[in-house]
Structure 1
Amino acid sequence: MSAETIARLRAMMAREDIDAVILSHPHDVRYATGYHSVLERWTQQEPLCGAIVPRDASKPVTLLIPEASIGVIAVGNEREQRIFCDEIRTFDMLNFCQVARADDPGARRSELARAALGIASEKIRGACQPDLLAALSQGLKANGLDRRGRIGCDDWRIGHRATQGMQVDLFDALDFLMRVRVVKTPGEIARYRKVGKLADAVIAQAGREVVHGRSWSEVQARIAEFMVRNEVVPVDEGAVLFGGGYDGDFIPDLFRTPVDRPLQSGDIIILETQGVHEGFWIDINRTAVVGPPSAEYLRLHDILRDAFLKTVDHLRPGVHTGELAKIARDHLVQNGVAAPDKLLLVAHGIGYMPLEIPVPFPSHGLAGVAGFEMAEDMLISLDCLYFGGTPGPCHMENVYAITSGAPEPMYHAPLELFVAEAPELAGA
């Protein structure tokens, strides 16, 4: 897949007259090279990997990693998680790499060590540097990227320090890289179809775990276990968005605040299961109730579902996402839903991040709601949340691939209400 993403990145660089990009955010490095390791999950403020991608295809794509992480590449190759780069430049991480280099006469050379040695002899260039900045600077100079050129960086501090003393035109490429990543390659869309199947399985399991009398913590633990067993990393220890409690009241939209009581009849539960599979986010949302829903609430759910589907019909290239909320709101008004302005409908990209919004930084404020024009091969998550107090809140969300025709759903779980049996319904 990285060959596809590199090709897209280089095409966009040519279109915007960019000579090279310096990448140090884990998502950007993974997008360009496929490289990732457990170190990135530490969420350190300082990056622990990097990449240099020149526009000129005759110049190498450079991956920069701690020297001790060469084994990660060997393991990835063994498992067919291919890492794409033309050369590797290494740096020390604290003194971990120094320790790894120390001789050990009693050590047995493993197959992993042999594979790592092969990678080192084939792709590693230059001496191990004391830190990432020095390795970036070394890579730029060695490949003639330090002499006049327009270079973008996804972290201004990293780019500024790595190019000190160089005759380059450095600029902040954060917005550029989001425009690159929001349109997916065929390989990425194929990967997300697999993610979609997992999302369907996870939301179905979440619906099964909503049981009258079961504690919130047990429900969440069960869903998290199911996700992990299916190679999905939960977003956090909660695994799923639920309502919460305050001053003795249960509030469905007070997500992840402590609730010290079991589920009971009448509870409305937001099932938004979020997690990551092979770097790509799952973001699927349905609503559940404990016990039989009232006719009024069931009607609200069905009106919201139909409004959602009307909006899906407008997921087309050239349509602006900012137009979608009015389509859904008008449907609520036409069907007499109280407080139609309590509808929150947002369309956003999704991929290595749950919110990929190709508008200039900062994109997570009102500018993100104002939206952007959709293009073919975007993955769009349509998030429809009704926060009305009467008869209650109702949420649903799906992801669609934008095509030249009708959008392709990535999730196929029915847009129906989950109903958990209560004792009075089960005859208990």
Structure 2
Amino acid sequence: MDFTPFTVDDYRARMERAALAASAAGLAGLLIAPGPDLTWLTGYRPPAETERLTLLVLAEGREPQLVVPALEAPDAAKAAGAPALALRDWTDAQDPYALTAPLLGGGRFGVSDNAWALHLLSLGERVPDAAYAPLSRALPMLRAVKDAAELERLAAAGAAADATYGEILKVRFSGRRERDIAAELDALLRRFGHEQVDFTVVGSGPNGADPHHEAGERVIERGDMVVLDFGGLLGGYGSDTSRTVHVGEPTAEEQRVHDIVREAQQAACAAVRPGVALQDVDRAARAVITEFGYGDRFIHRTGHGIGVSTHEPPYVVEGEEQELLPGMCFSIEPGVYLPGRFGVRIEDIMTVTEDGGRRLNATPRELAPVE
């Protein structure tokens, strides 16, 4: 699927905005490690397994600096945002922390949540008057509001996940292992355009009561409820959807629990509009499930943000008072989990519009029968 590429001007604007936001938050600057923050700010995605220091240093009024290992510098220089920053490469015979320290100075820096402790501790030895704050706390809204180009990619990812669900309903479930269905989900996501698959949860029968169950060797049987939760990246942006299906006809209790979760999910989606606090969306879902007596079996937050990663701020959870803004995107995924028996979860990605909210997933939310 073709999208208009992000330009160097797009990345320059993001870096400038991030540096200004850091200054407004009382930070001396930002230290961005490999991961979604670095990808969003620069377009550079370094090898995930590298232990060598790679760090983007941002501060208001200063040219962005990317400290990068010399053997990875050629790839960094090809990133779309590279012309908007200065590359500082280092060889294995050099001390990268001594190279980076002069770029910091003292003060409090926002740091990517996934930065290695080794790197921060080593920098701390050379810049003892520097302090660090997790970026998700210091600037939780940095990537939360998406522009039109980002929303286009998220909508395409959602449509591809919907197409995947439509196809998986056609396959046989009974007599097959969870991991076989998971493999088919993976193949379908890729068939419909995903370059990366992050997860394919297939929780059958009692395994469905584990929200993050890893698809395993259990053979799916007739009479099983099956929780499906799958997603990944398409065009660099995430999909994440959940539906619960049933092998054969459900019992009255299974249908009732599914109906409760569907009602809760609808209530939360209906609550989405600018100015509403994230915690109030969580409360809308939780109130329905609690009313029907399953409040203690809804054991996780109602949702999470999504963008260049499938899980990121903001979070739809009690205590989160951040108000919704147009362009924010997040999941709404209430669930009920009955240990040793079955689970139900229904999930859509929502984006906040000027006057409400819009689902980026459109597949039916009823309990679907499968063979």
TM-score (norm 1): 0.71
Report the CA distance shift for 1:370/1:88 in structure 2 as closer, same or farther (over 3 A).
Answer: same
- 1:33 touches 1:63 (CA, 8 Å); kept in 2? no
Match of 1:374 in 2: 323
Match of 2:347 in 1: 397
CA shift, 1:271, in A, is 0.5
Matched, 1:203 2:208: no
The match for 1:153 among 101, 104, 111 is 111
Report the CA distance shift for 1:256/1:15 in structure 2 as closer, same or farther (over 3 A).
Answer: same
For 1:347, the aligned partner's letter is G
The match for 1:64 among 59, 64, 67 is 67
Distance 2:226 2:242 in 1: 11
For 1:375, the aligned partner's letter is L
Match of 1:350 in 2: 306
For 1:183, the aligned partner's letter is V
Report the CA distance shift for 1:170/1:325 in structure 2 as closer, same or farther (over 3 A).
Answer: closer
The match for 1:256 among 198, 201, 214 is 214
SS in 2 for 1:55: coil
Match of 1:136 in 2: 100
CA shift, 1:227, in A, is 2.6
Match of 2:7 in 1: none
Pairs within 5 Å for 1:304-319: 304-319=261-276
- 2:304 touches 2:330 (CA, 8 Å); kept in 1? yes
The match for 1:213 among 175, 180, 184 is 175
Bigger Cα Rg: 1
Match of 1:109 in 2: none
Match of 1:32 in 2: 41
Pairs within 5 Å for 1:17-416: 17-37=26-46, 39-40=47-48, 42=49, 46=51, 48-56=53-61, 59-73=62-76, 83=82, 85-92=84-91, 94=92, 130-137=94-101, 140=103, 146=105, 150-154=108-112, 155=115, 158-159=119-120, 161-162=122-123, 169-174=130-135, 175-229=137-191, 230-235=193-198, 239-243=199-203, 250-254=206-210, 255-256=213-214, 258-261=216-219, 263-332=220-289, 337-344=292-299, 346-357=302-313, 369-376=318-325, 377-388=327-338, 392-416=342-366
For 1:9, the aligned partner's letter is A
For 1:234, the aligned partner's letter is V
Distance 1:398 1:350 in 2: 11
State percent identity of aligned pairs.
21
CA shift, 1:159, in A, is 4.4
Gaps of 5+ in 2: 1-9
SS in 2 for 1:65: strand
TM-score (norm 2): 0.81
CA shift, 1:346, in A, is 1.5
SS in 1 for 2:27: coil
Gaps of 5+ in 1: 95-128, 360-366, 422-428
Distance 1:188 1:373 in 2: 21
For 2:21, the aligned partner's letter is M
Aligned length: 353
Match of 2:11 in 1: 2
Report the CA distance shift for 1:48/1:208 in structure 2 as closer, same or farther (over 3 A).
Answer: farther
For 1:133, the aligned partner's letter is Y
CA RMSD of aligned residues (A): 3.3
Report the CA distance shift for 1:20/1:324 in structure 2 as closer, same or farther (over 3 A).
Answer: closer
Q: Highest relative contact order (Cα 8 Å, sep 6+), 1 or 2?
A: 2
CA shift, 1:73, in A, is 4.2
- 1:343 touches 1:387 (CA, 8 Å); kept in 2? yes
Distance 1:35 1:150 in 2: 25
CA shift, 1:31, in A, is 2.5
- 1:133 touches 1:161 (CA, 8 Å); kept in 2? yes
